[in-house]
């Protein structure tokens, strides 16, 4: 972790400016009837999981350019995740990907995480790639394969991931499969979906009572003609057929261009089936760009729905994870910045005057309805985020504190370059 003195020194220098900005914002909010202290406490409750694979350099499917000091194993990945949480105070959990980050000794990994104030979030299985020691290939599918033996192998992998997750204190399994087809006629649509339902039920049966199973849809890729769980409709149907604790997971990058994602959020939640969220941003497809980097207003509109649902149902608590691929930035910086962007969208959504909005909706005043949303979105809530971080022991400006700490330079010395510059994966 970064030396507490480095963070303290950074905060001390920034504190006078923050105090002034916070006081000014407090006055402004008070004129709107909002208590800034309440908002800051709410900001502090925000948490989003880090993907274990996110602290490495991702890349594109063409190439990957490894950065200095890349973590070489899951323990080093946890070190990086703990730095992200130390400075941002918004990422207390890590979502593990199996087999990419399969621990040999789960107990040792749990202790290592706990010593760094980290816990484990949803587990991610992987049947979109072949592993060296497996009997059957997933080239033509996994949970939906025409061969029962292949399906069984994929089911068993998911069950093994659940067993591992139990030892780590996780409470959910996220299932994303790449199953689909590249040619019309290649796959029987109804049969493959029927196989999916059977496989999902078999996995669900192995789930502990206090676990959720999260089904992630994705429109295309790696299958380019058809994908079995391609949209929220398929994911909803599968979750509904599988069981009560089986829910849908929405990844911001997994939709057709221009799709109204905030409406999908609303629909799934209305029927009790929204279980999780993967944050990232995109311009064209599943680009996995940093959250809020392309369309922060969309991120805000998504949170506008999430907050609206949360206020109506306090038990609503979806699993949140950042799902990004870093190719040209330091992943630690990107993940800290993204966590703050998602937190910012959450805080702004809390500022929406819901009573006024409902009034404008009911009196058919579209201009003022959208102006009510914009009033919250346009306000700069940075001092609230900074104050929440500082009070929790984080850095007022996480990126500046991280750069001042020279953490990357120091791990670059301890972790020699792996030399792998092959194609990217996420
Ligand atoms: C997929 C999907 C999954 C992620 C993999 C690596 O596109 O977003 O959530 O685990 O990529
Ligand atoms: Mn995802
Ligand atoms: Mn994705």
DSSP string, 282-310: -SSSS--BPTTSS-HHHHHHHHHHHHHHH
Report the alpha-carbon distance of residue 33 to residue 336 in Å, rounded.
31
What is the pLDDT at residue 416?
86
Q: Which atom of ligand 1 is nearest to the CA of 216?
A: 9
What is the pLDDT at residue 62?
83
What is the pLDDT at residue 57?
84
User: What kind and span of H or E run contains 158?
Assistant: helix 148-168
CA of 5 to the centre of ligand 3 (A): 38
| Architecture of the 47-352 domain | Alpha-Beta Barrel (3.20)
Residues in the chain: 426
Ligand nearest to the CA of 177: 1
Q: Which tokens in the block code for residue 268?
A: 């799934």
Ligand 1 site, residue 326, Cβ cutoff 6 A:
no
Checking phi first, is residue 243 left (phi over 0); if not, alpha (psi -120 to 50) or beta? left
Report the alpha-carbon distance of residue 170 to residue 165 in Å, rounded.
5
CB atoms within 10 A of CB 412: 15
Strand order in the sheet with 119-120: 50-51, 93-95, 119-120
Report the alpha-carbon distance of residue 321 to residue 342 in Å, rounded.
10
Report the alpha-carbon distance of residue 176 to residue 373 in Å, rounded.
33
Ligand 1 site, residue 22, Cβ cutoff 6 A:
no
Report the alpha-carbon distance of residue 379 to residue 161 in Å, rounded.
43
Pocket test for ligand 1, best of 53, 216, 227 (most atoms within 8 A of CB): 216
- Which residue has its alpha carbon closest to ligand 1 atom 2? 176
Tell me the DSSP string of 214-260: EEEP-SSSS-SSEETT-SHHHHHHHHHHH-TTEEEEEETTSS-TT--
**Of 155, 145, 234, 236, the residue nearest 195 (C-alpha):** 145
Ligand nearest to the CA of 54: 1
152, 144 Cβ separation under 8 angstroms: no
Tell me how many degrees the CA angle 313-314-318 measures, rounded to the nearest 5: 90
- Backbone φ and ψ for 49, nearest 5 degrees, come out as -80, 150
- Which residue has its alpha carbon closest to ligand 1 atom 6? 426
Per domain, the residue ranges of the chain are: 47-352
What is the pLDDT at residue 24?
98
Report the alpha-carbon distance of residue 146 to residue 328 in Å, rounded.
40
Pocket test for ligand 1, best of 53, 161, 178, 218 (most atoms within 8 A of CB): 218
Q: What is the pLDDT tens value at each position of the chain, 426 positions in all?
A: 899 999 999 999 999 999 999 999 999 999 999 999 999 999 999 999 999 999 988 877 788 888 899 999 999 999 999 999 999 999 999 999 999 999 999 999 999 999 999 999 999 999 999 998 999 999 999 999 999 999 999 999 999 999 999 999 999 999 999 999 999 999 999 999 999 999 999 999 999 999 999 999 999 999 999 999 999 999 999 999 999 999 999 999 999 999 999 999 999 999 999 999 999 999 999 999 999 999 999 999 999 999 999 999 999 999 999 999 988 999 999 999 999 999 999 999 999 999 999 999 999 999 999 999 999 999 999 999 999 999 999 999 999 999 999 999 999 999 987 656 555 555
Report the alpha-carbon distance of residue 95 to residue 101 in Å, rounded.
10
Neighbours of ion ligand 3 (CB under 5 A): 286
Strand order in the sheet with 172-175: 123-124, 172-175, 212-216, 246-251, 274-279, 319-322
Ligand 1 site, residue 79, Cβ cutoff 6 A:
no
214, 275 Cβ separation under 8 angstroms: yes
Beta-ladder partners of 119:
93
Q: Which atom of ligand 1 is nearest to the CA of 51?
A: 10
**Torsion from C-alpha of 209, 211, 213, 214, nearest 10 degrees:** 150
322: helix, coil or strand? strand
Measured CA to CA in angstroms, residue 65 lies from 59, 75, 103 at distances of 7, 22, 26
Ligand 1 site, residue 229, Cβ cutoff 6 A:
no
Report the alpha-carbon distance of residue 162 to residue 174 in Å, rounded.
10
Name the burial class of residue 144, with classes exposed (0-12), middle (13-18) and buried (19+) by CB atoms within 10 angstroms of its CB.
buried
Q: Which atom of ligand 1 is nearest to the CA of 53?
A: 6
Label the pairing between strands 93-95 and 119-120: parallel
Measured CA to CA in angstroms, residue 419 lies from 56, 71, 395 at distances of 13, 13, 33
Q: Which atom of ligand 1 is nearest to the CA of 174?
A: 9
351, 39 Cβ separation under 8 angstroms: yes
CA of 114 to the centre of ligand 2 (A): 25
CA of 280 to the centre of ligand 2 (A): 9
Pocket test for ligand 1, best of 101, 323, 423 (most atoms within 8 A of CB): 323
Report the alpha-carbon distance of residue 215 to residue 234 in Å, rounded.
10
């Amino acid at each position: 972790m970064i030396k507490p003195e480095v963070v303290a020194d950074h905060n001390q220098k920034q504190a006078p400016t923050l105090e002034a900005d916070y006081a000014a914002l407090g006055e402004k909010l008070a004129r709107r009837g909002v208590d800034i202290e309440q908002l800051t406490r709410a900001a502090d409750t925000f948490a989003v999981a880090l993907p274990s694979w996110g602290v490495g350099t991702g890349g594109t499917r063409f190439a990957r350019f490894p950065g200095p000091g890349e973590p070489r194993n899951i323990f080093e990945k946890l070190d990086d995740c703990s730095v992200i949480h130390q400075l941002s105070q918004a990422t207390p959990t890590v979502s593990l990907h199996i087999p990419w980050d399969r621990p040999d000794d789960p107990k040792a990994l749990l202790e290592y995480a706990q010593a760094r104030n980290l816990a484990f979030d949803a587990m991610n299985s992987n049947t979109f790639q072949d592993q060296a020691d497996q009997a059957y290939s997933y080239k033509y599918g996994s949970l939906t394969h025409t061969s029962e033996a292949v399906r069984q192998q994929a089911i068993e992998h998911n069950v093994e991931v659940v067993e591992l997750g139990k030892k780590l204190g996780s409470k959910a399994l996220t299932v994303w499969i790449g199953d689909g087809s590249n040619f019309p006629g290649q796959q029987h649509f109804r049969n493959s979906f029927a196989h999916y339902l059977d496989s999902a039920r078999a996995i669900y049966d192995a789930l502990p009572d206090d676990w959720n199973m999260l089904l992630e849809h994705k429109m295309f890729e790696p299958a380019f003609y058809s994908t079995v769980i391609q949209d929220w409709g398929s994911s909803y149907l599968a979750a509904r057929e599988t069981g009560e604790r089986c829910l849908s997971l929405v990844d911001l990058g997994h939709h057709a261009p221009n799709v109204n994602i905030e409406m999908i959020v609303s629909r799934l939640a209305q029927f009790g089936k929204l279980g999780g969220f993967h944050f990232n941003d995109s311009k064209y497809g599943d680009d996995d760009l940093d959250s809020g980097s392309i369309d922060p207003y969309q991120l805000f509109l998504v949170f506008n729905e999430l907050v609206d649902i949360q206020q109506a149902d306090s038990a609503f608590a979806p699993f949140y994870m950042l799902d990004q691929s870093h190719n040209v930035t330091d992943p630690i910086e990107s993940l800290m910045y993204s966590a703050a962007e998602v937190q910012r969208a959450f805080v702004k959504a809390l500022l929406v005057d819901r009573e006024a909005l409902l009034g404008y909706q009911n009196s058919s005043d579209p201009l003022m309805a959208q102006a009510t949303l914009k009033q919250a979105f346009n306000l700069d809530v940075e001092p609230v985020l900074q104050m929440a971080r500082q009070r929790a022991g984080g850095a007022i400006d996480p990126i500046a504190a991280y750069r001042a700490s020279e953490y990357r330079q120091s791990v670059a010395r301890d972790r020699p370059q792996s030399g792998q510059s092959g194609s990217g994966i996420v």
